[in-house]
Structures are given as structure tokens and as C-alpha cells.
Amino acid sequence: MNNISILGSTGSIGTQTLDIVRDNPDDFNVVALAVRSNADMLLKQIEEFKPSLVCVYDEAVAVDIKDRIKEDVTLVTGMDGLIECAVIDSADMVVGAVVGMIGVRPVIEAIKAGKDIALANKESLVTAGHIIMPLAEEKNVSILPVDSEHSAIYQALHGENRKALSKILLTASGGPFRGRKREELVNVKVEDALNHPNWSMGKKITIDSATMVNKGLEVMEAGWLFDTDIDNIQVLIQPQSVIHSMVEFVDGSIIAQLGTPDMRLPIQYAMYYGQRVYLKGDRLDFAAISHIDFEEPDPETFEGLKLAFEAAKLGGTMPTVYNAANEYAVAKFLNREIGFLDITSTIRNMMDRHIVIADPDVDTILSVEQDVYSMINNMKG
Amino acid sequence: MNNISILGSTGSIGTQTLDIVRDNPDDFNVVALAVRSNADMLLKQIEEFKPSLVCVYDEAVAVDIKDRIKEDVTLVTGMDGLIECAVIDSADMVVGAVVGMIGVRPVIEAIKAGKDIALANKESLVTAGHIIMPLAEEKNVSILPVDSEHSAIYQALHGENRKALSKILLTASGGPFRGRKREELVNVKVEDALNHPNWSMGKKITIDSATMVNKGLEVMEAGWLFDTDIDNIQVLIQPQSVIHSMVEFVDGSIIAQLGTPDMRLPIQYAMYYGQRVYLKGDRLDFAAISHIDFEEPDPETFEGLKLAFEAAKLGGTMPTVYNAANEYAVAKFLNREIGFLDITSTIRNMMDRHIVIADPDVDTILSVEQDVYSMINNMKG
């Protein structure tokens, strides 16, 4: 029995994590749930999964929900509450499924508390990989990737000598705007960008997929997770999203992981620590797929990808600037305040203005995040 | 240092095995070489690799070569000589690279002598898998596949729990006649059939690839090597020969092994017991490949594949009949005595006439082989 705490239980990854728990009641027990503000869904989850602790990050919603909880459960709120869920004694594993830099502190605290991490929150590794990876090693904590790409790499490396790894081939669908030229993306609407061809995901990550900033974040994340030089990571467009990623070894052999676009597979694989357990669902039918295509990403149209490699090489606080600028710009785009191409030009502007601080601690990372937000606001003011 | 004995050192697999030895002189030492009749090449190999024992299977050639050997090496001949090379005390590993049923006895004797086997000789497992696999387990001997497909499956299963395997996807190029209808193959010439699109191989195996009998043999071999029900093996046409094979697990995840069409990779992987060592050569360039296609094999045109599944399910001596009928028919085709489609109709005829003997010993297997040869001869006579 694996006792789990889910940070972000009402999001796309969170609800699918609970699907796995529901299908395997003998293997998993939910001890804590944390959400930002979705009270109605949380109430249903409390009723079904009976956690002992829940966090509603938004204080106003927490106050509001207090009297509606019938079960015997402790309610906490804010960052302190989120961290309480991350370090709760009874948990063996924390599923880090919150979106954004809000996940950094709870993930670090969970590792300090010796919890294994099923990690979907990209931002933790992107901004604080230099803190998280050595800490996880020190605390003998497993970081199990939940992203389909990183899970694919993890699966492909299973049982292999990491020193024999020569290259990571991180696949990308290319998103809804694959094949378009930069000038064709000037007038892209929110609806167009939310229309991903293969995957059904949250809004933020769907926009990140359309700009390919998501792939940029994944490149940085892969660098940390697999201790790989950023130049040994190649992004490969594979529009059908059938190959979830590949690794190349020193002997030229390539191991790939393939599957249907179903996030439950990487979630379950992480939850079971790489043990393979039956998962109901469709299987790949290659004759029906008929072909898989490959192409190189276009660095002009998808400038966000190029900037990610730059940010990763500069290191220190630069990935935080990259990520924070993107986070804020995507929110503004979703709010129809800026255009689609303004997302990556905002990232570029913020990176151009930033002077890298090497080896930043968490406070520095989070204060750089706030600085970036203020700077973007002032630019617009 | 791995001391190896190579059975079939002048063939396609044998010479590439020696390429690996040449490139890694600190890791390998050749103690024995066995050939059918290629004296000139053997003399060069003796000079370069300095084995202590060589076998020339063909007695006339052996007599002829005796005085031409300058090195201090013991020369043996015939099946006894081949077996001497297979069981030589100084060998840790035997590379079973002879083509045809001639390999069955030496492989079994090598296992009895406790030698690990790098196995390229399909016929041993096809005809005597029921003897070889339990014997290897009893003697704690590793059977390391050298075929690119079986090596791919072996690599994909590396570190995984075999019980989680749900399906093997054995890929096939489809050979030079992929997409043709049965009636289009009536007048196929030897030259057409020898023209394989992707792989450079020996003559026998190239014809077997054109009929897809090779894939049929591989299906049977995979069943033994990976202890898999034949119905859980699916043959998938993948004309580019980029994906060397795949496995599907109970969670729906698929692990594939890919690479350039270079036999040195599976040979080296077997010789190093699955340890990955740098191998010079081209690497896959996916953007240049641009796409991988998939299709189901056509069971009417490639009847040999269908017959293989039938033979495997009937078991006992039937795979021997399948293989012996094919071996003899291919020799006749290469000798321009019969037409291309006669190869598989010969197999079908011989299978129709045969009454299966369950759990045959090696003598029975080899006597059934001889019976099949006689029957084919009598049919023509």
C-alpha cells in the first residue's frame, strides 16, 4: 500500500492520478489533497478518497468551503497549507501536479521530508534543478517523472547504464501551429492555441505546447532528470505523438517508448515506481497509424524553444526568468491582453534585461520570479 | 577478456563478429574458428586472429588446406570437428553463426559444455528449442540473440519483468516483393530475390527474406527465446528497417529498439552480454528518414509466414519439416531448378504429408530433416 499526497488534485494530472487510485484500491491510499480553488470538485474527492488533510490554496475559497466539508478532515490554506500536504507524515509519495512556480517550495520540502516524488510540475526542476537533484540524492528520494516525454526517457533508460547514454531525442507533436511560418502566427486567437491535435491537457500547458515553450521547459527538465548536457538533447517533431521520446546509446542503438496519448500510463508508471501493472485502455494499432513522420523544429517560428536552450546554458536564475516571463505572458494571452507572438518576445525581452545570478537559493529564485512579473507589468503600464 | 569460438567465421555474421574483435582487442580473444569450405578467407583469419583450433567442415577442402597453414593450429573436420570447436575448453562464448540445421548439434553440445551462446543460427531454436531452452537453463548458460529483431526484443526487455510482456511486435522489411500480389511472383528470378532493399546478408537468408520464411523462422525463434505464446507475436511490416522490433507490456507501453541496418550492433551487444560499448558507424538521422511506415503482412502473397504460425502451433517435428523443406527448396531455387513460388508450396506439401512427432530428440529431428530432403528429391525424380 502506497500512501499518496496529491498537490493539484483537481487538475488534469491530479484527476487522472485519482483514476489510477480508483482502479487500484488495494495499492494506493490518498492521505492528502491540495487544490488552488476548485471547491466543488475537491468536496467530491474528499467524499470518495477520504484524505486526512486537504489544502485549499486560495484563502477566500478555503473559508467558504469550511462548513461544506462533512468528513473528518483537517483543512489548511495558503503556501503553508500546501507545504503541510507535501510533508504529511503518513505519505510515502507526493504527486507534484500543481502548475507553475507555486510548486517549487512544496516539492523541495517534500524531498527534505524524505517523500518520493511523482513529478509533473516542470517548474520545480527548471528553476531549482540545481537544488532538487542533489537534495534528492542526499535524502535517497526517487524523483519519478510524470510527463509523457520524461517518463518515456525514464522507461527507455530502465536497466541501462546511464553512462552509456549519448543523446536524448525528446519528441514533440509540434502543436497546433506546426508547419506555420512566424508571420502566420501574428493573429492567432486563444481558441486556436488551445486546440491541441493529440493531447487533452490543461490550458497553460496547451498554450505552452503551441509556442513550444513547453518543449523548452522539458529540455531543461530532462537535463536535470537525466544529468545530461543540454547539447545532448535533440528536439524532434513527431506529429502523431506516438513515440513519446527516445534515447541513443554509445553503440548507436536507440530505445524508444511508444503508446497512445494517455497520461494515465506515465502517471501509473511513476506511482508504481516503474513496475508494470495492467492498465485498461486502447493499445497502439500500428497498421491503423500507418506511418510516423519526423521533422526538425523550426527555430524561427518557435523562438521559445531556441530561448530555452540559451536559458539552460546561461543557467543560474535565467531559466527562472524564462519560465516566469512565460507564465505571466501566457496568463495575459489567455486573458486576451497580448498577442500570441508577444509570449515569446516577452520571454526574450526579460532574458535580455536579466543579469544571471549563479546557483540561486529558493528565496532568490522566487524573488527573481516576482521581479520578472513587476517588470512585465511596468512595461505595459 | 572474453574467449570466443566462432562457428561460421567466413559468413556474413562471422566476418562481422571478427570486425568487433578487431576493434576491441583488449576485450576479445579468438580461440577457435569453423568454416564450411572457404579456405582462402580462413587462412587470412588464422593469420590475423591466431586461434588454437580450426575446423574446415568439408573434408576435401580440409585435406587441401592442411599444408597451407603456417601457424601452430590444430585442424579438424566434419561434424566432429565442428563440435570440437563448439566445446573447446578455452572458450567462454560460442558464436553460432553457421547457416542451416548443421548448427543444431554444435549449439546443443556447446550448451552442454557450459558455453554462453551468441546465437545467429535460427534453425537450432526453430527445430530444437524444446531441447535448447531447458538445457540452457539447467546449465545456467546465456543465449544471446544475434538477429537484429531478436536483439531488439532482448534490448527492449532489458531490466523489465518478463511477466509484464503482453505482445511482441516483430518487424519485417517486407523484402524486395512487398506490395506485390501472389501472381506477380510467378516469374521472379534469383537476381530479383537476392536484391534486398535494406540489409546486406548471406544468399540463403536474403531469399528467406523475399519469401518471408525468414520472418516465419524468426517468429518461432522468438517464441522460444522469450517464452511467449506464438499468438502473442505479431509480424508488422516496416519497410524502412529502422525499428528492429518492439514489445508491448500489460500497461500498454511499447518499447522499441531502433538503429541503422548494421548487424555489428546486435553482434556486439551479444558479445558484450548486453553491456553498451562505443561502436563506430552512422547514427540514425530521423529528420533525414522523415517517416516510418507500417502495414500488415499479406498472408496470401507470403504464404510462408502463415505456414510458420501453423508449424509452430503444431510443434514437435513440424517446425523441422518447415525449415528443412525451405532449406532444400531455397537451394534448388538458387540453383534455378524450381521457381520462386515453389519454395513455399514445397513447404506446404511437406507439412501436409508429415505426421507430427511430439517432443523429438536431436536424432529424430535430424532424421526428419533427411526424410524431408528425400521426399522432395523423389517428388522431382
Question: Is the per-residue pLDDT at B380 higher than 60?
Answer: no
Q: In sequence order, what are the residues at sequence separation of 6 or more whose Cβ sits closer than 8 angstroms to the Cβ of residue B44?
A: none
Burial A59-95 (b: 16+ CB within 10 A, else e): eebbeebeeebeeeeebbbeeebbbbbbbbeebebbb
Lowest average pLDDT, out of B45-49, B314-318, B327-331, goes to: B327-331
Which residues does chain B have within 8 Å of residue A240's beta carbon, measured at their own beta carbons?
A: none
Within-domain flag for B77 = yes
Range of the domain at A241: 150-314
Domain boundary among B145, B173, B198: B145
Within-domain flag for A381 = no
Mean pLDDT of chain B: 95
Mean pLDDT of chain A: 95
Domain boundary among A271, A290, A314: A314
Same domain, A159 and A27: no
* Helix-helix angle B303-314:B318-334, to 10 degrees: 150
For residue A77, which of A94, A93, A60 has the smallest C-alpha distance?
A60
* Helix-helix angle B122-138:B104-112, to 10 degrees: 20
Residue B197: what pLDDT? 66
Nearest to A253 among B252, B255, B259 (CB): B259
Contact A155 B253 (CB under 8 A): yes
Cell of B203: 544468399
Neighbours of A134 (CB within 10 A): 10
Same domain, A245 and A263: yes
Residue B353 to residue B355: CA distance in whole angstroms: 7
Same domain, A141 and A81: yes
Within-domain flag for A353 = no
Amino acid at A234: Q
Same domain, A98 and A177: no
Same domain, B296 and B154: yes
Question: Is the per-residue pLDDT at B194 higher than 50?
Answer: yes
Question: Is the per-residue pLDDT at A262 higher than 50?
Answer: yes
Within-domain flag for A32 = yes
Burial A3-29 (b: 16+ CB within 10 A, else e): bbbbbbbbbbbbebbbebbeebeeebb
The three-state secondary structure class of A180 is: coil
Same domain, A161 and A101: no
Within-domain flag for B140 = yes
Residue A381: what pLDDT? 45
Same domain, A45 and A93: yes
Domain boundary among A260, A290, A314: A314
Residue B377: what pLDDT? 86
Contact A258 B259 (CB under 8 A): no
pLDDT 10s digits, B136-172:
999 999 999 999 999 999 999 999 999 999 999 999 9
| pLDDT band for position A197 (cuts 50, 70, 90) | low
| pLDDT band for position A195 (cuts 50, 70, 90) | confident
Question: Is the per-residue pLDDT at B132 higher than 50?
Answer: yes
| pLDDT band for position A200 (cuts 50, 70, 90) | low
Nearest to B158 among A160, A250, A293 (CB): A160
Residue B200: what pLDDT? 61
Same domain, A196 and A54: no
Which residues does chain B have within 8 Å of residue A251's beta carbon, measured at their own beta carbons?
A: 265, 268-269, 276-279
Number of domains within chain B: 2
Residue A378: what pLDDT? 84
Nearest to A281 among B243, B252, B275 (CB): B252
| pLDDT band for position B263 (cuts 50, 70, 90) | very high
Within-domain flag for A249 = yes
Same domain, A306 and A189: yes
Across A330-337, average pLDDT:
92
Same domain, B43 and B166: no
Interface membership of A291 toward B (CB under 8 Å): yes
Residue B119 to residue B204: CA distance in whole angstroms: 17
Residue A199: what pLDDT? 64
Within-domain flag for A41 = yes
Contact A289 B289 (CB under 8 A): no
Query: Can you give the CATH number for the domain in which B76 is found?
Result: 3.40.50.720
Q: What is the ipTM of this complex?
A: 0.95
Same domain, A115 and A176: no
Same domain, B66 and B124: yes
- The alpha helices in B113-174, defined as continuous H runs, are 122-138, 148-157
Nearest to A294 among B252, B269, B286 (CB): B286
Residue A379: what pLDDT? 77
Residue B212 distance to chain A (closest CA, Å): 18
Within-domain flag for A329 = no
